[in-house]
A and B are shown apart, each in its own frame.
Chain A
């Protein structure tokens, strides 16, 4: 369908962009890559009176890698992440997720900030941000605030963002060199939204797993930290038996819904299988499909 009618503004500063959003009191939407918002407009699921294009706002496209971790500006595109060789070491879980995100053409325009703000329950970045305990840096009429990924995703397509607030960056904590990670998802066709997926990492000390972070996505309203699976992992040896127990815990602690794409039981079983495979992938134990 053709897009609904709206006005368009292309501010040249962050303050001006926030001011435009504030003056329209929830009836204006920011746009950058547009890879989620444009389909929403085409389906008339969104019909704002004003689009505020962020393409000329300076400073939002930076990638910073230092001892405090990785900071990605909101307008950093997937292709920028793919092309930045530092990120394979500085945030390998993010790098591992990128090939699963949509398609080549979409990755050429889609942005970090857009994916977080759109908050699709089956999207990869929200799950990676959650697994990594990332922080989302937000700016609005009342200044800057930082929200933990855990507190940012409130429901399907719903976040902690106020109408006049913008994501300016996402920060990932430092990544120890020895940390193990894995990312897997299952979709019926390449590039489709996942029916279920898992993003995880753990550290190893004296042959035992510690600090396990396991996030599932596509299995509920928001990406979910799988505390039961993490409890099965922490303090145990990274063996296939441990991973099978964690997978059972993961499947037991999610409550997926039946929809046109998959039944609830199928998604639950799929999440268990993916958890097991992703853990094996992280540990380098083969049998990772």
Chain B
């Protein structure tokens, strides 16, 4: 099995990993970087659970080879709360009961973080449109939408986000 060495920045830390070329970025984050906050479910780009930010853009990490991320900057759900304290978005999810089993939550948090960072004034329709790329089988989405709407203020105020 062909293996390649890649260097990428994960949550602000430059990291060198030896990855089989067929390994997805999702698996490399979980198994090589030991960051298991990124969840893997469908493994073919339907569910959105594995969403991470690559160079600032929300992407499905199961639909990207780890070798393709050589040189990239990655932000995973762990990077949203680098000091262990919940980010405003995460705190809003908690306050609005926007998660139940929690399996989809990392992908939804990273997606919504990317959205609100780029579009802090996203309205409910835009949030729902973007959220369509993430499956949640517990909440019925209503509390997720409420949590994201309520978190917008924190993205408007702070130019600098993790």
Partners in one complex: yes
Seen from chain A, the residues whose Cβ lies within 8 Å of a Cβ on chain B are 1-8, 10, 31, 34-35, 38-39, 42-43, 51, 53, 55, 79, 99, 102-106, 108-109, 189-191
Contacts A34-B68, A38-B45 known; A104 to B111 CB distance under 8 Å? yes
* B1-54, CB < 8 A from A: 1-2, 4, 21-24, 27, 43-45, 48, 51
Chain B CB count within 10 A is highest, among A8, A42, A104, A190, for A104
Q: Which of B56-64, B87-95, B97-105, B146-154 contacts A (4 or more CB under 8 A)?
A: B56-64
At the interface, is chain B mostly helix, strand, loop or mixed? Answer: mixed
B160 within 8 A of A: no
Instruction: Please state if A34 and B132 are interface contacts (CB–CB under 8 Å).
Output: no
In the complex, chain B residues whose CB is within 8 Å of the CB of A10: 67
Instruction: Please state if A104 and B130 are interface contacts (CB–CB under 8 Å).
Output: yes
Pick the contact of B63: A8, A51, A109 (CB < 8 A): A109
Q: What is the count of residue pairs linking A and B with beta-carbon distances less than 8 angstroms?
A: 88
B144 within 8 A of A: no
Instruction: Please state if B64 and A104 are interface contacts (CB–CB under 8 Å).
Output: no
12 further A-B contacts with Cβ under 8 Å, apart from A38-B44, A39-B45, A42-B62, are A7-B2, A7-B21, A34-B64, A38-B64, A53-B67, A99-B129, A104-B111, A104-B129, A105-B111, A106-B133, A108-B57, A109-B60
In the complex, chain A residues whose CB is within 8 Å of the CB of B45: 35, 38-39, 106
Contacts A1-B43, A3-B24, A105-B111 known; A190 to B65 CB distance under 8 Å? no
In the complex, chain B residues whose CB is within 8 Å of the CB of A38: 24, 44-45, 62-65
Pick the contact of A2: B4, B22, B65, B132 (CB < 8 A): B22
Q: Looking at the assembled complex, report how far the CB atom of B153 sits from the nearest CB atom of chain A, in whole angstroms.
A: 22
Pick the contact of A6: B21, B27, B43, B129 (CB < 8 A): B21
Instruction: Please state if A4 and B62 are interface contacts (CB–CB under 8 Å).
Output: no
Q: Looking at the assembled complex, report how far the CB atom of A103 sits from the nearest CB atom of chain B, in whole angstroms.
A: 3
Q: List 16 A-B contacts (CB under 8 A).
A: A2-B27, A3-B23, A4-B22, A8-B22, A35-B63, A38-B45, A38-B65, A39-B63, A51-B21, A51-B65, A55-B68, A104-B111, A104-B132, A108-B59, A190-B129, A190-B132
- Can you list the 8 inter-chain pairs with the closest CB atoms, starting with the nearest? A103-B133, A8-B21, A190-B132, A39-B44, A38-B63, A108-B57, A42-B44, A104-B130
In the complex, chain A residues whose CB is within 8 Å of the CB of B65: 8, 31, 34, 38, 51, 53
In the complex, chain A residues whose CB is within 8 Å of the CB of B77: none
**With the chains together, A8 CA to B129 CA distance in Å?**
35
In the complex, chain B residues whose CB is within 8 Å of the CB of A53: 65, 67-68
Instruction: Please state if B44 and A8 are interface contacts (CB–CB under 8 Å).
Output: no
**With the chains together, A229 CA to B101 CA distance in Å?**
51
**With the chains together, A43 CA to B43 CA distance in Å?**
9
In the complex, chain A residues whose CB is within 8 Å of the CB of B23: 3
Pick the contact of A79: B4, B24, B57, B132 (CB < 8 A): B57
Q: Looking at the assembled complex, report how far the CB atom of B73 sits from the nearest CB atom of chain A, in whole angstroms.
A: 14
Pick the contact of A191: B27, B51, B115, B133 (CB < 8 A): B133
**With the chains together, A3 CA to B48 CA distance in Å?**
18
**With the chains together, A102 CA to B59 CA distance in Å?**
12
**With the chains together, A140 CA to B157 CA distance in Å?**
52
Instruction: Please state if B59 and A105 are interface contacts (CB–CB under 8 Å).
Output: yes
In the complex, chain A residues whose CB is within 8 Å of the CB of B27: 2
Q: Looking at the assembled complex, report how far the CB atom of B72 sits from the nearest CB atom of chain A, in whole angstroms.
A: 10
Contacts A38-B62, A109-B64, A191-B133 known; A8 to B4 CB distance under 8 Å? yes
Instruction: Please state if A109 and B59 are interface contacts (CB–CB under 8 Å).
Output: yes
**With the chains together, A191 CA to B134 CA distance in Å?**
11
